[in-house]
Amino acid sequence: MTIHTKTLKQLSQGLQTGEYSSQELTQAYLNRIQQHSTLNSFITVTETQAIAAAKQADALLAAGNAPLLTGIPMAHKDIFCTQGIKTSCGSKMLDNFIAPYNATVVDKFNTAGMISLGKLNMDEFAMGSSNETSFYGSALNPWADSTVPGGSSGGSAAAVAARLIPAATGTDTGGSIRQPAAFCGITGLKPTYGRVSRYGMIAYASSLDQGGPMAQTAEDAALMLQAMAGFDAKDSTSAQQDVPDYSANLNDSLKGLKIGLPKEFFDEGLNSEMATTIETAINEYKKMGAEIVEVSMPHLKLAIPAYYVIAPAECSANLQRMDGVRFGHRCTDPEDLNDLYIRSRGEGFGTEVKRRILVGTYALSAGYYDAYYIKAQKIRRLISEDFAKALETVDVIMGPVTPTPAFGIGEKTADPIEMYLADIYTIAINLAGLPAMSVPAGFIDNKPVGLQIIGNYFAEAKLLNVAHQYQQVTNWHQQTPKGFE
């Protein structure tokens, strides 16, 4: 039985019609995870809990009226707190942290009946674009194990691409869903800021973090988002906005759709093969009746510097609770309080996390605050205005997700700035708080390439429609890496 290439939609049909049971399905995926453990996409596999949950799902399915996603396996990025299960956030600091509560997103997937198979690898505290900052070592890209899967949701992307799970959760602060989705050839959606509750999602940069789905298809991403989205009284920044039926408009025609192409997305920084691939994808939309409009994002180039002030500033405060006092790593035999702090944090955090804490602490310091933090916030507003202006005239904005396909392991670790610059096309969207998707759009040297689709606030249904229509006329999303067929 080769069920692992099936989509959520297909799996749901199989379960609801009794073609296979949730226990069979769960076991099949657990076996694949075991079989491909060298991919290092999982930090924790929760086999026992998964089998128990599958049993319950089967009972529910047998009784009829089980929700659509009942019994389908999935896994969470290890940034989401899961009650009674290690929630490491990819860090030595939380290697011993068993969360005593569930994130709202985790509760929601439990309610939807999905079976969590475990916790996925990620860059430490979601700080990284390659998965190489993980305390547990990098997950590998199933398309070429010498390249990175991207980050920070690299484990999620690698596991879905390798068909170890049909779908996963991820989080995106500066591209952490879209970039690994692009590198691994899967479909990823970063929702509008506030669409998905952040409660129980360990904070990196609170004003930018947003959870979202990672799946094979836009259709599946719609089903996942349906389960995740909604106002949460426990998250003051979650939006009190109705959740539409994300599957309802997937088949709407794209005739007359106005697609904006920011000229700044296609300048000299973009790899020429990448540009060609994206242009080919845009041509598909033209064939479907879409209109192309050139737009401009004059402040785009300021996105990276602004992001690398705001995100580190917020993370420097967010990570202060990791102090070795109440949970997490504590150094042995501290001499006094200062020693406890310095050694616990010094030992618990990795280099990239320390770098960002230092940058953020500096940016917030007396005498520098106005020059850095306040200025970065002003840039953030300008960038939002650029998008708002463009979205007055177009329905969606398109462009590449990354300047190049997946880079090699170790290729950019020596120069953090080079790593940061590779996030140029994704970061601005977080600063503006807009929703955006990464959709498989081809290959360069057998490495997947992602097309980015950006929409207006709360226009996730539109993005999914636009992505789904593309997936009706292309089959990039159905490609499975060699060795994982």
Partner 1 sequence: MQWETVIGLEIHAQLSTKTKIFSAASTAYGAEPNTQACAVDLGLPGVLPVLNQEAVRMAVKFGMAIEAEVSDYSVFARKNYFYPDLPKGYQISQMDHPIVGVGHLDIEVNGQTKRIGVTRAHLEEDAGKSLHESFHGSTGVDLNRAGTPLLEIVSEPDMRSAKEAVAYMRKIHELVQYLDISDGNMQEGSFRCDVNISLRPKGQEEFGTRAELKNINSFKFVEKAIFTEVERQKEILEAGGSIVQETRLYDPDKDETRSMRSKEEANDYRYFPDPDLLPVYISPELRAEVKADLPELPEAKKQRFVTDYQLEAEAANNLASSRPLADYFENLVKTSSCEAKICSNWVCVELSGALNKENLTISQSPIDFTRLAQLLQRIADNTISGKIAKQVFEAMWSSTDSADAIIEAQGLKQITDSGAIEAIIDKIITDNPAQVEQYLSGKDKVFGFFVGQTMKASQGKANPAEVNKILQGKLKR
Whether omega for the bond prior to residue 152 falls within 30 degrees of 0, making it cis, is: yes
Ordered DSSP codes for 78-95: TTB--TTSB--TT-GGGT
44/87 with CB nearer partner 1: 87
Closest CA to 223 of 201, 203, 248, 241: 248
Q: Where does this chain bind partner 1 (CB under 8 A)?
A: 80-81, 87, 89, 94, 97, 99-101, 103, 198-203, 205-207, 233-237, 313-314, 316-317, 319-323, 325-328, 337, 341, 361, 364-366, 369, 373
d(C-alpha 405, C-alpha 141), whole Å: 11
Least distance (Å) from partner 1 to the CB of residue 358?
13
Q: 319 near 382, Cβ under 8 Å?
A: no
| Tokens 């953090």, located at residue | 416
Name the minimum Å distance from CB 443 to partner 1.
37
Q: Is 77 a catalytic residue?
A: yes
The span from the first CA to the last CA of the chain, in angstroms, equals 12
Among candidate residues 12, 116, 176, 238, the one labeled active-site is 176
Closest distance of CB 427 from partner 1, Å? 16
Nearest Cα to Cα of residue 468 among 293, 204, 218: 218
Cα-based angle 294, 379, 205 (whole degrees, multiple of 5): 110
Phi, psi of 175 (to 5 degrees): 135, 10
- 29 versus 308: smaller Cβ distance to partner 1: 308
**Among 12, 22, 41, 77, which one carries the catalytic annotation?**
77
- C-alpha 354/C-alpha 14 separation (Å) is 47
- Neighbouring C-beta atoms of residue 212, cutoff 10 Å: 30
Count of C-beta atoms within a 10 Å radius of residue 446: 11
Could you tell me whether strands 396-400 and 258-262 are parallel, antiparallel, or unpaired per DSSP bridges? parallel
Q: Which is nearer to partner 1, 207 or 404 (by Cβ)? A: 207
The count of other CB atoms within 10 Å of the CB of residue 381 is 13
Instruction: Name the residue nearer to partner 1 (CB basis): 89 or 353.
Output: 89
Tell me whether residue 5 or residue 96 sits nearer to partner 1 (CB atom): 96
Looking at beta carbons only, is 35 or 320 nearer to partner 1?
A: 320
Min dist CB 316 to partner 1, Å, is 8
Beta carbon of residue 376, minimum distance to partner 1 (angstroms, whole number): 11
Catalytic residue selected from 130, 134, 152, 316 = 152
Report the run of H or E that residue 364 belongs to, with start and end: helix 351-364
| Nearer residue to partner 1 within complex by CB, 53 or 201 | 201
Q: Which is nearer to partner 1, 16 or 384 (CB)?
A: 384
* 22 catalytic per annotation: no
Least gap, CB of 304 to partner 1 (angstroms): 19
- Classified as helix, coil or strand, 419 is helix
Q: Which tokens is 83 given?
A: 């009650």
d(CA 113, CA 412): 40
Q: Write down the least CB distance from residue 105 to partner 1, Å.
A: 10
Which of 310/391 has CB closer to partner 1? 310
Annotation says 247 is catalytic: no
For the bound state, the minimum distance from the C-beta of residue 21 to partner 1, rounded and expressed in Å, comes to: 33
DSSP assignment string, 311-343: HHHHHHHHGGG-SSSSSS---SS-SSHHHHHHH
User: What is the greatest pairwise CA distance in the chain?
Assistant: 70
For residues 225 and 439, give the distance between their C-alpha atoms in angstroms, rounded to a whole number. Answer: 15
Least distance to partner 1, CB of residue 314, Å: 6
One-letter amino acid of 116? S
CA distances from 31 to 27, 39, 59, 201 (A): 6, 14, 22, 28
**Catalytic residue ranges:** 77, 152, 176
